[in-house]
Amino acid sequence: MEKIRAILLLKDGRLFRGFAFGAKGETSGEVCFNTGMTGYQEILTDPSYCGQIVTMTNPHIGNYGINPDDVESRGIQLAGFIVKEETEVPSNYRSTQSIGDYLREEGIVGIQGIDTRALVRHIRTEGAMNGIISTVDFDYDSLMVKLKQVPSMLGLDLAKRVTCGKRYIWRNRMRISDCGLRAQDIIPKSAVRNPPWKVAAIDYGIKRNILRLLHFHGCNVTVFPATASATEILSIKPDGILLSNGPGDPAAVTYAINTVKELLGKKPIFGICLGHQILALALNAKTYKLKFGHRGINHPVRNAETGKIEITSQNHGFTVDPDSLPSDVDITHWNLNDDTVEGLRCKDLPAFSVQYHPEASPGPHDSRYLFETFVNMMK
C-alpha cells in the first residue's frame, strides 16, 4: 500500500512528520499517551477518550487485530490515534479486521511512523496539550490557526457528547468467559437470570464492561443519560446508583454535580473515574487538571484500608484535591506514582468511589472486589 504523508503539530509548535494511519483528513484534540502494551481496541472505544488524540507507547499496535466483541461502546470515541508502527496483518483467531481498516471504516484520522518516544517525553515535560493531525494540509501557519480554535480540555463538558440519548435497560448478552470471569467469581446462575438488585447507572460515558460486571454480580441495570434528574433516577426505586466514567473536566458537568447532591443519602452510590470526581465535587471538594494524566494498565494503588497494593487500569486527566475534602470523607486509596487520591468513602453516607477502572478492559482484575462492595452496601 502506498504511504500517504501526514503531519502532527502541537500547540507549542513542536512538529512531527509521518504517514497516514486510518482515514485521510484532519483531526484535533488534546494529545495524551497510554502506556498499555495491549488493549488498544478497548482504548479506541472508551468514551473517556472523547476529544483526545491518544499516543500508544508500545511500538507495534494491531498485532491481534480487531473483533466485534471487545468494543467498550457503540464505536471509536477518541479524536485521533498515534502509533509508531501499525501491524497490517494481524494474527489472532478472534480477529475480523486490521486496526487500520477499523480506523478507516470509522473515519478516524491517525498518524504512524513518528518518534513516539520523543513525543511522549515532550508531553511528560511540557504537559498534555492540544494538537492537530492532517493528511491534507501541511502548511505550518494554516494548521496553527486551526489549532488555536480547538477548545482547551479545562472547562470542557464532554459528557453530553457521549451519553445515551434516553434511558434503557441493559440486556447482557455476553458469556461469563467474555468478561474474564470464572464461575466461582460471581453469584449463582439462578441469581444472574433473576438479578435481585436494581441499579440506576448514570451514563457520563459508561463502558460496557461496567454494565457486564454489574449484571454478573446480580444487578438489573437501567442506564440513564448524564442529564437525568434525581427525580427521574429515583422513580424506578433503585437499590443503588452507579456514577460512570466519562471524558472532560468534571467541574464543567454542573448539572451532574447538582443531581448527585440531591441523591446523596437516599441510595447507596458507587462512582468510577469521572463519577468519582463528580461525587467529590458534590461533597464540596475540588478537582484540578494533572500535567499529563494517568493512562495505562499498570498503575500501582495502595488500599489504605487493607494496606494491599492493587495494579490498576487508569484513564483520567483530572484528580480530586485531597485538602479540599470535608472531614466526614475518608481517602481510601492512594496512587503510589504521584500520591494523588484514588478512592474515597463517606463516613456517614452510603457512598464511595475510585478514580481508576475496577472493570479494567484493558487491564488487571485486582479491583473487581469493588463491585461486591457495592452489592454489600445495597444489601
Cα 183 from Cα 120, distance rounded (Å):
41
**Is pTM beyond 0.85 here?**
yes
Q: How many residues does the chain have?
A: 379
Domain-located, residue 56: yes
Do 363 and 39 touch, CB atoms closer than 8 A? yes
Is position 153 within any domain? no
CB 342 within 8 A of CB 333: yes
Number of domains forming the structure of the chain? 2
- What pLDDT digit, counting tens, does each position of 282-292 carry? 999 999 999 99
User: Grid coordinates standing for 242?
Assistant: 452507579
**Are residues 270 and 339 both part of a single domain?**
yes
Cell, residue 56: 500508544
Based on the domain organization, do 178 and 287 belong to the same domain? yes
| Residues ≥6 apart with Cβ < 8 Å to 62 | 40, 83, 86, 87, 88, 90, 98, 99, 100
Any domain includes 295:
yes
| Secondary structure (3-state) at 4 | coil
203 and 309 both lie in a single domain:
yes
Residue 229, in any domain of the structure: yes
pLDDT tens for the chain, residues 1 to 379: 678 999 999 999 999 999 999 999 999 999 999 999 999 999 999 999 999 999 999 999 999 999 999 999 999 999 999 999 999 999 999 999 999 999 999 999 999 999 999 999 999 999 999 999 999 999 999 999 999 999 999 999 999 999 999 999 998 765 444 444 444 444 444 445 566 899 999 999 999 999 999 999 999 999 999 999 999 999 999 999 999 999 999 999 999 999 999 999 999 999 999 999 999 999 999 999 999 999 999 999 999 999 999 999 999 999 999 999 999 999 999 999 999 999 999 999 999 999 999 999 999 999 999 999 999 999 9
Domain boundary pick from 147, 169, 203: 147
Which of 113, 147, 181 terminates a domain? The answer is 147
Task: Give the residues across from 309 on adjacent strands.
Answer: 302
Is residue 152 domain-resident?
no
233 shares a domain with 331: yes
DSSP-derived secondary structure for 257-305: HHHHHHHTTTS-EEEETHHHHHHHHHTT--EEEEEEEEEEEEEEEEETT
State which residues form the domain around 309: 159-378
- Do residue 63 and residue 91 come from a single domain? yes
Which pLDDT belongs to residue 171? 87
Q: Between vectors from CA 198 to CA 195 and to CA 204, what angle results, nearest 5°? A: 120
CATH of the domain at 46: 3.50.30.20
Task: Show which of 84, 114, 147 is a domain's final residue.
Answer: 147
Q: What is the pLDDT of residue 195?
A: 66
> For residue 187, what pLDDT is reported?
42
Same domain (yes/no): 237, 99: no
Q: Same domain for 311 and 362?
A: yes
pLDDT tens-digit series, residues 131-185: 999 999 999 999 999 999 999 999 999 999 999 999 999 987 654 444 444 444 4
Residues 53 and 14 in one domain: yes
Q: Is residue 154 part of a domain?
A: no
In a domain? residue 370: yes
**Is 331 found in the same domain as 207?**
yes
Q: For the chain, first and last CA: distance in Å?
A: 58
82 and 215 in a common domain:
no
Residue 127 belongs to a domain: yes
Q: What CATH number did the domain enclosing 280 receive?
A: 3.40.50.880
Residue 139 and residue 175 in one domain: no
Residues 135 and 194 reside in one and the same domain: no
Task: Pick the closest to residue 179 from 209, 156, 157, 153 (CA basis).
Answer: 209
Active-site residue set: 273, 357, 359
